[in-house]
Amino acid sequence: MRLTLAFAAALALLPLAAARADEPIVIKFSHVVAPDTPKGKAAEKFKELAEARTQGRVKVEVYPNSQLYKDKEELEALQLGAVQMLAPSVSKFGPLGIKEFEVFDLPYIFPSVEALRKVSDGPIGKALFKKLEPKGIIGLGYWDNGFSVITSNKPLRTLDDFKGMKMRIQSSKVLEQTYRDLGALPQVMAFSEVYQALQTGVVDGGENTPSNIYTQKFHEVQKYLTVSDHTYIGYALIVNKKFWEGLPDDIRAALEGAAKDATAYCNSIAEAENADALAKIKASGTVEFITLTPEQKAAWRRGLLRVHDEMASRIGKDLIDAIHKETGVSATQ
């Protein structure tokens, strides 16, 4: 059962100073995916490092699989202080009024993980984190998941095949526009509701990374998987600003180090975790794999790049141009 937000927040707002000196500071780290994923493993790594490096003065409680909160509630809970740490997909900041992170959802904006890293670890990533601060949130690092594939109950080989398909998306206007351009019917839905929606036909398909698809068993209730790699899913490791700034300096420094190392760990395992999950999905034999020919891939890319221009007024043309410059990709290619 989920905690009611108001009750959990009231508890959490008890000032740090009121905690007994011999009691550990508790960090509740909530997330929506399975423990056996890049994010799930990195959350556990943060716990291990944080507890060891603070000699037990900090206790990290990791709550995977939307046990505490679903997508949108999770961000509200962080802002209220009911949980202290999250690693939501950056696609989910739009409803907080921070639209710029949706730039990560533009189709084919990152030709590789290296190109993505240049953006997230450079001035652009830092400037985006600054936008979180007025919302009471501090960004500590960018965690990889990987490039998305599409699962569906009908074969999706060409962009025309999407017409009329009900597709689950994260709460991102960029993803919404992408599917609208294809004549599909995008449906925003919390991650924890996707399995049932796919199983019952409330939606016909969705995009996600192989590690999420495999661990949530989406492939068991879908017929096809198109290896499209058209969008990227990554996370922001974030903390409640008031909580973070209220920590004793030595504790905060130790936790910053743990966050940095957990970030490096996540980013070192994500690609292999997804390759492994894709192989396991294939081996399960439950879905037919659709591998696009180079011509089909090129046609997808040509057809979807227009979303970069269409979303410039929402996300900011300067931001999109800056990323194009950094990655060498442009919407007119």
Residue 205, token pair as written in the block? 């398909």
Minimum CB separation of residue 82 from ligand LMR in Å reads 19
Q: Kindly report the CA angle at 147 between 154 and 298, in degrees rounded to 5?
A: 70
Using the rule CB under 6 A, is 178 a contact of ligand LMR? no
Closest distance of CB 145 from ligand LMR, Å: 6
Q: How far is residue 175's CA from residue 131's CA, in Å, rounded to a whole number? A: 21
- Nearer to ligand LMR (CB atom), residue 191 or residue 300: 191
Minimum distance from residue 271 beta carbon to ligand LMR (Å):
15
Query: Within 223-262, which residues bind ligand LMR (CB under 6 A)?
Result: 233
**What SS3 state is found at 86?**
strand
- If binding is defined by CB under 6 A, does position 307 make contact with ligand LMR? no
* Number of residues written out for the chain: 333
| DSSP for residue 32 | S
Tell me the two tokens of residue 141: 């690092």
Q: How many residues bind ligand LMR (CB under 6 A)?
A: 9
**30 interacts with ligand LMR by CB under 6 A:** no
- Which parts of 73-92 interact with ligand LMR (CB under 6 A)? 89
Among 32, 49, 203, 247, binds ligand LMR (CB under 6 A): 32
Count CB neighbours of 225 within 10 A.
Answer: 26
Rounded to whole angstroms, the maximal C-alpha distance in the chain is 65
Residue with tokens 């240049």: 118
Among residues 25, 33, 167, 239, which is the contact residue for ligand LMR, using CB under 6 A? 33
Q: Least distance from C-beta 168 to ligand LMR, angstroms?
A: 8
Q: Which residues contact 110 (CB under 8 A, 6 or more apart)?
A: 104, 116, 119, 232, 327, 329
70: left (phi over 0), alpha (psi -120 to 50) or beta: beta
**Dist. CA 282–CA 277, nearest whole Å:** 9
Nearer to ligand LMR among residue 89 and residue 152 (C-beta):
89
Residue 215 found at the interface with ligand LMR (CB under 6 A): no
The residue within the footprint of ligand LMR, chosen from 172, 212, 240, 327 (CB under 6 A), is 212
The C-alpha torsion from 240 through 244 and 246 to 248, rounded to 10°, is 160
Please give the residues from 189 up to 208 whose contact with ligand LMR meets the rule CB under 6 A: 191, 208
Site for ligand LMR contains 263 (CB under 6 A): no
What residues make contact with ligand LMR under the rule CB under 6 A? 32-33, 89, 145, 170, 191, 208, 212, 233
